[in-house]
Structure 1
């Protein structure tokens, strides 16, 4: 299942509006088929894996990061029916599908066909890998990542606004990879005016994965951009990367719309520079505690990346 979840990342974000699911088929201790949700949502992961396995799927074990779909669609076959027809012996499912058209029915039908089904293996990790789609399905809003690139003393630019470059090549390359993993990217009016950012993906082979551009503003947006008046107004994407500046970052934090925080820190001190975050309306220091948990930390050249996730309210 760990391998299947890692494979599911290949479908993100191109599988939208469908979830980025992956499937591995194992027979006699070796992988005989694998698949992940293709761009636009079809074919599904199970269909791809079964096509690769062909006859070797009979009697095999299937590892799927999401419950196989159980509803008919004009866009493609029902994965539950495909698995039953292929004669698989066992299906291991990371998590159920909250789509009301399936929501447990795939598991029920597989068991009714005499197929062993094991649920919940790698559930939390699989849901994290599908976080954008899961956010849309459960909360009807995008999954939001806030990116901050700062000095050790929390500055994103010199006092005059100069910010190129705070971090080094490796950190910036990683940030471009994050862009490729998101459907949308957002900056504020100040960042647009000061930096005229391209917000594209400058990595070999991923240049076509540039996210849709959003501008946080009460005015108009340039051609090729979408204007949004508030964090709550962002729509049409399942995942959003907020890149700058301090005002936009503060707006999303204050609105409690940040689910994940990427903090890139360069080993430099600026002093008197521009702060990474504006006022978020914090009235009591106690309110700042217990909101974030560290989930990853690594060195990118001489820079450090810390990744935090929003602590669930329950």
Structure 2
């Protein structure tokens, strides 16, 4: 069974739906599902609910009601095959008499790991894997990284001037990008389970590290403050809800995954902490906001440039990353890069 243009379009719809769960479903993956009837009309859609349940397939099937016989399901992750808090989604699809299932990527969870697809095929359902695979893997890089590597994934967020610098000549943090770009940054916060910063940013900015988009305060990520030595957070905006750690970057990401139900973490910090994560090979993605103006004189190297003679070079290359998104946010440019997809 080979997907046609209509199948690809339906999977794209499912992928868009899966974005809605990011930041609110961990440790579960964020999945999207579209169900069509025998005439290819959409009869049900769903995405993973807050807290991880109900699953996307369950919601889509409920909306489709009794019209599913002979229909098609488009799902961004292999349907589950294990009995947990809810019955397996693979069995729900079988019971609904779905005829075809397109799913984007395998579920690496050992409780699934091919068993979902096998159950569908054993019930004589036509199954195709791979449509929309790259985008599905990017969307669920946190879940995939946690299952396969035992740590949270990490996205480094940078706001930089046109000539590649992050602060004023005096070393002060300042607004480099405009209001629309900053609001987009808050959307990134909402899509991550945790947000990491360092002592330098804490002292300079006393940040809240929350999501300030209207109606989305409840989607604020878990704040994590990393320092070399113990620090008193009682007089900061983060005192009531932040984790504090003096551990190494890798240990922090593993602890977040194992003990705090974190799939994906966002790194908003200064160059020193950013460099420690880069040198440890722990940066999986870069969210880069670029302003249209320069900062002079530069005091910090441009970390995304392939070579740099102005100041300290951070030691990594944009060539190692692939740009998957490139848009304008008013006068500012936003690009999203991934180093690898597992």
TM-score normalised by length of structure 1: 0.92
Are positions 1:264 and 2:289 aligned together? yes
Q: Which of the residues 24, 36, 44 maps onto 1:33? A: 44
C-alpha contact (below 8 Å) 2:34/2:45 kept by paired residues: yes
Residues 251-302 of structure 1, C-alpha deviations (whole Å, 9 max, x = no match)? 11111111111221112222124426596774xxxx7474222222221111
Residues 119-168 of structure 1, C-alpha deviations (whole Å, 9 max, x = no match)? 22111221111111011111111111111111122221212233331111
Report how far residue 24 of structure 1 moved: 0.9
SS of 2:158's equivalent in the other structure is strand
Range that drifts further, 167-176 or 265-274: 265-274
> Which residue in 2 is equivalent to 1:216?
226
> Which residue in 2 is equivalent to 1:62?
73
Q: Which of the residues 331, 335, 339 maps onto 1:302? A: 331
Separation in structure 2 between the aligned mates of residue 62 and residue 245 of structure 1, nearest angstrom: 45
Number of aligned residue pairs: 308
Are positions 1:233 and 2:251 aligned together? yes
> Which residue in 2 is equivalent to 1:72?
83
- Note the 1:1-314 alignment, pairs <5 A: 1-27=11-37, 28-73=39-84, 75-221=85-231, 222=233, 223=239, 224-228=241-245, 229-234=247-252, 235-236=255-256, 237-275=262-300, 282=315, 288=317, 290-311=319-340
Residues 13-51 of structure 1, C-alpha deviations (whole Å, 9 max, x = no match)? 211111101111101221111111111211111111111
Change (3 A) 1:281 1:153: closer
C-alpha contact (below 8 Å) 1:145/1:259 kept by paired residues: yes
Separation in structure 1 between the aligned mates of residue 76 and residue 222 of structure 2, nearest angstrom: 27
C-alpha contact (below 8 Å) 2:160/2:290 kept by paired residues: yes
Report how far residue 219 of structure 1 moved: 2.4
C-alpha contact (below 8 Å) 1:219/1:227 kept by paired residues: no
Unaligned runs of 5+ in 2: 1-10, 234-238, 257-261, 304-310
TM-score normalised by length of structure 2: 0.85
SS of 2:225's equivalent in the other structure is strand
Separation in structure 1 between the aligned mates of residue 55 and residue 61 of structure 2, nearest angstrom: 10
RMSD: 1.9
Higher strand share: 1
Unaligned runs of 5+ in 1: none
Residues 193-241 of structure 1, C-alpha deviations (whole Å, 9 max, x = no match)? 0110111111112121111111121223523221232211223221111
Change (3 A) 1:311 1:129: closer
Separation in structure 2 between the aligned mates of residue 306 and residue 51 of structure 1, nearest angstrom: 37
C-alpha contact (below 8 Å) 1:290/1:311 kept by paired residues: no
